Homo-oligomer: A and B are copies of this chain.
Amino acid sequence: MDDVDVLTIGAGGGGYPAAFRLAAAGRRVVMVDPKGLMSGNCLAEGCVPSKAVREIAHHLLRHRRFHKSGLHGEVSVDYSEVVAHKDQVQTRRYEQHDAELRAAPNVALLTGTARIDDPHTVAVDTPEGLRRFNARNIIIASGSDISVPPIPGLEHCLSSRDLYALRPSVSTLPASMLVIGGGYVGLETASFFSAFGTRVTVVEREAQLLPGMDPDMVALLAPLLDPNIEIILRAEVRRVEPTSQGVRVVFFDGTAEQHRSAAQAFQALGRHPVIPAGLREIGVTVGAHGVQADPTLQTNLRHIYACGDVNGRTPLFHAAVRQSVAAAANIMAGDRHADAVDFLSTPTTVFTLPAAAYVGLTRASAAAAGVSIEEGAYSFAEDSRAQIFGETQGEIRLFFQTGSLRLVGGWVVGIDAGNLIGQIGLAVSRGLDARDLAAFADQHPMSAEGISRSARSLF
C-alpha cells in the first residue's frame, strides 16, 4: 500500500492539469490510465486529429473560392497524406506531453486499470501486477467512450476511432459515406469528406441537425453547409447491412423503411462516461449523464472529484482542463470551495465548413431559463473581412439580459466562428454588459468588429 496525496483515475484533460498543479505545489500525485499516456480522447480520436483534417479541407474550400481572385492552378487531395499530416500532429503532441511528464517532479503515470476499494483506497491492475494506493484525494477523470447503441449491424460502421486515431484503419478516401448521427461529430466529418470529394449522406433521428443546440442557430448554419451533402432528418436507423459495395443503412422515416447505400458508414451516436469500477459501491452518486459533480467538481464525497467527460456537464477538452484546475485549487484548499466552474460560459464550436459557435444562453435556452433578453446582431454580409474571403453568409448574434444589458450568451455562424467565440465567451464569463462591449474599439478590418457593432445596435 502506497500513500499518495492525490490519485487521478485518467490522465487526460480532466486529470493531468490537476496532477501537474498539485505536484508543483508539493503533493505526491499518481495518475492511472489504461493507455499509459498523458492525454485523453481529444488527442487520441477527437478534437485534435479531426481539426488537423478539417483545416486541410477548409484550406481547399478557400482555395476554390480564391481561384478567381488571383491564385491559379488546380489542387487535388491525397487523403493518405492528410492522414499522415494528422498523425504527425498527434505524434508531436504525444512527444511533448511525454517530455512534460518526465520534467515534472512529484507526479507519476501508471499504466493500468483502477478499481476503488473504499473511499481512500484504489487498486490498480498494472502489467507488473496489482498495486494499492491510499489517497487523501481522488479525481475521477476517466473520460468517455464511443457509444454503440443496440442497432443491428452497427459493427459494420466506422467510428471516430477508425478515422481519427493514430494510424487509423481508414487511410483512403471512400467514394461515398453514410453518416449516422447529425450531431457535431457526424456533421463535421460529413463536411470534411464532402469537401474532399466523397459523396456524403447524413441520417439523423431528430427533426433538426445538431440536436440539443439552439434551433435558430442550426437553421442559420444548415443552408451554409455543402449542398452536396444529403441530409435526412427524422430518420430512425433500424439496421446496418454489409453489401458487396460496402454497406447499406435502413431507416424508418415515420411512415416506411427507407435505405441508403455507400462505400462506408460512419456512426457518430454519442459517447458515454466511463465509470471506474467500485465507484458506485463506495457511495458516489452516478446519474444519467455521469458521475454527479457540482461546480466545485466535488462529488457527494467531498474528497472525491469528478472532472471532464465523466461528469457529463460539458464534455469538451477545454471544459475538462478548466474543471481539473478548479479541482486542484479546491484540493489545495482542503476540499473547500476555493474555485468553482461556470459550466454555462464554456464555448462550443461545431467545426463544420463553415463553423458555428456558441456560448452561454442563446435564444432558446434563455427562454427555457426564463431570462428575458434583447438581441444585438451583425451580418457578415457587411463585414470587410468576410467580403475579402467571399464568406459573407452568417452572423454574430449576442444575447443581453433585458435591463442590465449584461451579455448572457451569443453565437457566431460563419467566418472565424471558432475564433470570435473566445472574446464573446470571456465577456459572458465576466458578466460584461453591452456598454462594456460597445466601448471597446474592435479591430478593423477583422470580423470581431461585429461584436462591438452588435452591442452598439442596442443603443
Residues of A within 8 A of B (CB): 13, 24-26, 42, 47-48, 51-52, 55-56, 59-60, 62-63, 66, 68-85, 89, 92-93, 96, 136, 294-295, 314, 316-319, 321-322, 325, 329, 332-334, 336-347, 349, 369-370, 374, 382, 384-385, 387-389, 402-406, 416, 418-423, 425-427, 429-432, 435-446, 448-449, 451-452, 456, 458-459
A-B contact sample (20 more), CB < 8 A, given A70-B78, A72-B78: A13-B444, A24-B334, A59-B66, A72-B75, A73-B73, A294-B403, A314-B441, A317-B444, A322-B440, A333-B459, A337-B458, A342-B404, A343-B403, A346-B441, A418-B443, A419-B420, A422-B442, A426-B440, A429-B439, A430-B432
Alpha-carbon gap, A8 to B343, bound state (A) = 38
7 closest Cβ pairs, A-B complex: A25-B334, A295-B403, A70-B82, A431-B431, A69-B85, A322-B441, A422-B448
- Judge whether B427 and A448 touch: CB under 8 Å: no
- Judge whether B343 and A51 touch: CB under 8 Å: no
Alpha-carbon gap, A48 to B387, bound state (A) = 10
Alpha-carbon gap, A314 to B440, bound state (A) = 14
How would you classify the secondary structure of chain A's contact residues: helix, strand, loop or mixed?
helix
Q: How many copies does the complex hold?
A: 4
A316 in contact with B48 given A342-B403, A426-B437, A427-B426 (CB within 8 Å): no
A321 in contact with B444 given A56-B69, A72-B77, A388-B52 (CB within 8 Å): yes
Q: Which residues of chain B have C-beta atoms less than 8 A from A332's C-beta?
A: 25, 332-334
- Judge whether A440 and B425 touch: CB under 8 Å: yes
Alpha-carbon gap, A440 to B390, bound state (A) = 32
- Judge whether B93 and A384 touch: CB under 8 Å: yes
Alpha-carbon gap, A382 to B439, bound state (A) = 33
A39–chain B nearest beta-carbon distance, Å: 11
Contact of A325 among B13, B93, B456 (CB under 8 A): B456
- Judge whether A403 and B341 touch: CB under 8 Å: yes
Contact of A82 among B69, B369, B403, B435 (CB under 8 A): B69
Q: Which residues of chain B have C-beta atoms less than 8 A from A429's C-beta?
A: 436, 439-440
- Judge whether A443 and B416 touch: CB under 8 Å: no
Interchain Cβ contacts under 8 Å between A and B, 24 examples: A26-B334, A47-B445, A48-B384, A52-B388, A56-B66, A56-B71, A59-B63, A60-B71, A63-B75, A70-B85, A73-B75, A295-B404, A314-B441, A316-B444, A319-B441, A322-B441, A340-B404, A340-B405, A341-B403, A342-B404, A347-B443, A419-B420, A426-B426, A430-B430
